[in-house]
Structure 1
Amino acid sequence: MPFSSKTARGENILRFRRKRDGGERNSPRLFGRRTRSESDIEALSKRILLPSLPVSDEEMARATHQDRGQKLARQEMWEELSKQIQYADDCRLSTPGGEIASMLLAFGARSDVVAAAEDAIADGAVPDPVGIEALEEVQTEFYGDHCCALVVAMAHIDIGWAWRNAARDGLHEEKVCQKHWLNHFNRARDILAPYDGIDLDAPSLAAAQCALTAAFRQKGHRVADDYAKLIDLDPDGHRHMRALGQHLLPAYFGSYETLEVEARRTAVRTAEVWGDGGYAWVYFDALAMDRGALDLLDAEFFADGIRHILEAKKDQHITNLWAAFCAVNMAAETDGHLSTHADATRRHLHNCLDWILSDYLQELHPLVWSQALLSPGLTPALPSRRALISKGRQTALRIIATRFADDLADGSSIAFSPAGMYRLPGL
């Protein structure tokens, strides 16, 4: 698609020299080939006129659901919380960016207990059992309520993963971490055993059960089949497709071959909602976590999937999500571990940034770009919110400036608006 190039005077002044031969316009640090100083890139980034939202609609919507869940749990209004989770599942309620409201409510409800446990584990201690025991009392009092069971089981799953991460980071002895991990996951499995998320038409419950299935050593087809039922239950929820891809990686007892097959199957099953987008969603987190998946990926199919997603979901959070993925997660590596084919595929996906910027990006969501810089699946100690926003904005503007450095060399600027990206001549 051509760039939108109308200025206030109606002049067609955009003459970007876009490289379509597979080459990349690179900065010294991020992309390596064309040498420009840090100060040059910093100066050019000041001529990127892109509205920035420190707090997006998506973030406010997520906070609303999470805060409501947390408030109801703190006030011990479990019956009301259960009703709201059930309602959100029944209506397939989601945020503007497609996050599932029922899961956000459940996250808020368990957040105090989980945060306290994670802090204790990170400090090298064993969490005080008072918090999880209080949730267990709720499970006993409301036995038979699958929404309350969801909250308690997910708290065990979250704490279990905190122990697993502690083993990886060397915070505790591996045997101790393994014991706690297994205890929490087994308890979560026992809590959810009486329920079936598919039969109850509850995507949040089905998602929790899929996460449990993937955590234990299961054959890839079992994980894939469970997720297929979940995705059929809630095809609008891209989080399910992303989780499927992550849990089919070799690190989760899957394989690249199974990942490729299931990505294609998902694209077919969700075509009415996402076009080819299901293929891209399944690979989204998987590629960010493990670039080995590039070897079997169909780059053209993936790129078509991105465009279909951006057409189906005209939301700037989603646009920023994919722009950051292509710019940051698919940037060139310095270690050179990719095969020739995988690197060519990576380069193709990285170059999708050009048309995402020109055809779809209208505003910058800095936190999305900051999150792309973090290791997927990990929970490191985060900088302050202000620092994340600043880093995300700086990263995005520098990447965009680097991408179009040649076109900015004459003193012109690049501006973004709902009408598209256009070029302003220098004074």
Structure 2
Amino acid sequence: MLNLSRQARDTISRMVNPFKSRFGLPQKEQMVARAHPVDTTFSRIRPEDCLSIPVMDQGADDIACRDAQARGQYLARQERWDELSAEIEAADKGRDKTPGGMPVSDLLAYGARADVVNAVEHALGEGHTADSRPLIDGIMALEAVRMPYRNDPYIAGVVALAHIDIGWVWRGTGWENTLPPVNRQRWSAHFDRAAALLAPFNSTQLSSPFLAATSCAMLQGNCTDAITVANDYERLINLDPTDSRHFRALGNHMLPRWSGTYAALELEARRTASRTESIWGAGGYTWVYFDAISNDEQACAQVDVEFFLDGLHDIVETRPTQEMINLLASYCSVALSNGLGLCEQADLPRLQIAEAADWLVRDHLYELHPLIWAHAADGFDNNARITSASRFAARGRADALQIIADLFREEIDRGHKVTFTAEGPQLTHV
């Protein structure tokens, strides 16, 4: 039997139970479940009957993201490229963000290329061959649009991002050594073209995090050494240190599966935390490891848990929005559970970090954002296919309510209903 403390067994039970039916249980978790069975009385209680929390199916951030994407798509469809460029530039220079922290410039650019990228994704899904017109026409049309705007960095950025996205459609999310030769060739070709489009423009001179982020996104499709990658991300983060996505991308890129090493990951996490301490406190370290430890067992095994948890507290203090609280709580209780049981050395850090879900929910949560929780179950994979947005959100809502109910299990067992308010959770006897 596994040598785990009762607290650890409780944590595993809380993290795993809501996902048994959908994901199944690895062998290690089956052993823990047998050693620490679920209270069947509690399991018969529906979370909806014992929890009251506002559910934001469409929060302010969701609306702002959708509107910005729709604006970019509209301008591209109307071929109003001058306006598109001007709006991306204004948002980029102003560091404009949605309430959840998404750069408006990125959202406009995403909308502008969405039709082309979606068409390629659909064509590949339908089994079209590499030289078929549906896989070529859209990107060639964008390349033609760029010709009158050769000196416009923002139009070049949109076209480069389209090539990067299409490259990822060809690449997929599996290991590189499993790629068919034609997929590898197309992946490399699109990333090479993106690099050529960006080459004439200096993102630092233009003070453009939009272009710097595009350049960093391009690196994963090209053979690049860890030092070059780290330096490029340092320039990007210096341009916009308030955008946590840059930190997260750096950490993922420092994994050995891409351009880094585990030693480089730890070094860059500490360097980044030191450089951004005035903004994030210790949060820079946490952000760099955020996706790395949920995707890689060795990265999880080596993380400085105390530093990571200090960073969680500092992130909440810096940006205590409900979007952020939902992100962090779902990360601790859902995303980290995906790798539980795969590696003994990584399990203890996972469990220690997962415990933070308790204070995040009890001390800071008063709105539920189902889409964030649903994305957490997929490991925040941007390439995950969503066939039904309503079912996706419903899954996130159900998972979140079950996990929150588990956190308040003792209070609920004593006959209380938990009502979430801006002043904290309130208990009433029912």
TM > 0.5: yes
Equivalent residue, structure 2, for 1:13: none
For the 8 Å contact 1:289–1:377, the answer to whether it is kept is no
| Offset at residue 24 of structure 1 (A) | 3.2
| Offset at residue 403 of structure 1 (A) | 2.3
For the 8 Å contact 2:297–2:339, the answer to whether it is kept is no
SS in 2 for 1:414: strand
Q: Over residues 382-424 of structure 1, what are the superposed CA-to-partner deviations in whole Å (9 max), with x where a residue is unaligned? A: 1311101111110001111122222211221122111012322
Root mean square deviation of aligned Cα: 2.3
SS in 2 for 1:236: coil
| Offset at residue 219 of structure 1 (A) | 1.5
Give the one of 131, 146, 150 matched to 1:143.
Answer: 150
Equivalent residue, structure 1, for 2:356: 352
Give the one of 26, 29, 35 matched to 2:37.
Answer: 35
Q: Over residues 88-145 of structure 1, what are the superposed CA-to-partner deviations in whole Å (9 max), with x where a residue is unaligned? A: 1111001111111111111110000000001111222144322111100111111100
Equivalent residue, structure 2, for 1:110: 113
Identity of aligned residues (%): 39
| Offset at residue 337 of structure 1 (A) | 2.6
| Offset at residue 308 of structure 1 (A) | 1.0
Equivalent residue, structure 1, for 2:400: 396
Matched, 1:252 2:240: no
Equivalent residue, structure 1, for 2:197: 191
| Offset at residue 283 of structure 1 (A) | 1.3
CA distance in 1, matches of 2:250, 2:176: 25
| Offset at residue 288 of structure 1 (A) | 2.4
Q: Over residues 5-52 of structure 1, what are the superposed CA-to-partner deviations in whole Å (9 max), with x where a residue is unaligned? A: xxxxxxxxxxxxxx9965634246357544226784351512121110
| Offset at residue 168 of structure 1 (A) | 6.3
Equivalent residue, structure 2, for 1:232: 238
Q: Over residues 302-350 of structure 1, what are the superposed CA-to-partner deviations in whole Å (9 max), with x where a residue is unaligned? A: 111111111111211111000000001222756x33234x221111100
Give the one of 43, 47, 64 matched to 2:67.
Answer: 64
Equivalent residue, structure 2, for 1:3: none
For the 8 Å contact 1:167–1:177, the answer to whether it is kept is no
Q: What does residue range 85-104 of structure 1 map to in structure 2 within 5 Å?
A: 85-104=88-107
SS in 2 for 1:200: coil
For the 8 Å contact 2:419–2:425, the answer to whether it is kept is yes
Give the one of 214, 218, 238 matched to 1:212.
Answer: 218
| Offset at residue 284 of structure 1 (A) | 1.4
> Could you say if the C-alpha distance between residues 375 and 304 of structure 1 is closer, same or farther in structure 2, counting changes exceeding 3 Å?
closer
| Offset at residue 68 of structure 1 (A) | 0.7
For the 8 Å contact 1:92–1:234, the answer to whether it is kept is yes
Equivalent residue, structure 1, for 2:414: 410
Aligned AA for 1:233? L
Structure 2: gaps spanning 5 or more residues: 19-28
Equivalent residue, structure 1, for 2:290: 284
Per the normalisation by structure 1, the TM-score is 0.89
Per the normalisation by structure 2, the TM-score is 0.89
> Could you say if the C-alpha distance between residues 103 and 222 of structure 1 is closer, same or farther in structure 2, counting changes exceeding 3 Å?
same
Give the one of 292, 307, 322 matched to 2:328.
Answer: 322
For the 8 Å contact 1:231–1:241, the answer to whether it is kept is yes
For the 8 Å contact 1:122–1:166, the answer to whether it is kept is no
Aligned AA for 1:55? Q
For the 8 Å contact 2:294–2:339, the answer to whether it is kept is no
CA distance in 2, matches of 1:378, 1:418: 31
Equivalent residue, structure 1, for 2:83: 80
Aligned AA for 1:146? P
For the 8 Å contact 1:246–1:286, the answer to whether it is kept is yes
For the 8 Å contact 2:163–2:194, the answer to whether it is kept is yes
Aligned AA for 2:73? Q
Of stretches 125-134 and 99-108 in structure 1, the one that deviates more from structure 2 is 125-134
Aligned AA for 2:387? P
> Could you say if the C-alpha distance between residues 402 and 303 of structure 1 is closer, same or farther in structure 2, counting changes exceeding 3 Å?
same
Equivalent residue, structure 1, for 2:343: 338
> Could you say if the C-alpha distance between residues 236 and 167 of structure 1 is closer, same or farther in structure 2, counting changes exceeding 3 Å?
closer
CA distance in 1, matches of 2:315, 2:173: 36
SS in 1 for 2:425: strand
> Could you say if the C-alpha distance between residues 92 and 42 of structure 1 is closer, same or farther in structure 2, counting changes exceeding 3 Å?
farther
Aligned AA for 1:165? G
Equivalent residue, structure 1, for 2:23: none
CA distance in 2, matches of 1:425, 1:56: 31
Runs of 4+ in 1 over 4 A off after TM superposition: 19-23, 30-33, 166-170
SS in 1 for 2:365: coil
- State the structure with bigger RCO (CA 8 A, min sep 6), 1 or 2: 1
Equivalent residue, structure 2, for 1:243: 249
Aligned residue-pair number: 405
| Offset at residue 377 of structure 1 (A) | 3.8
> Could you say if the C-alpha distance between residues 320 and 242 of structure 1 is closer, same or farther in structure 2, counting changes exceeding 3 Å?
same
Structure 1: gaps spanning 5 or more residues: 1-18
Aligned AA for 2:111? G
Aligned AA for 1:156? H
Matched, 1:123 2:126: yes
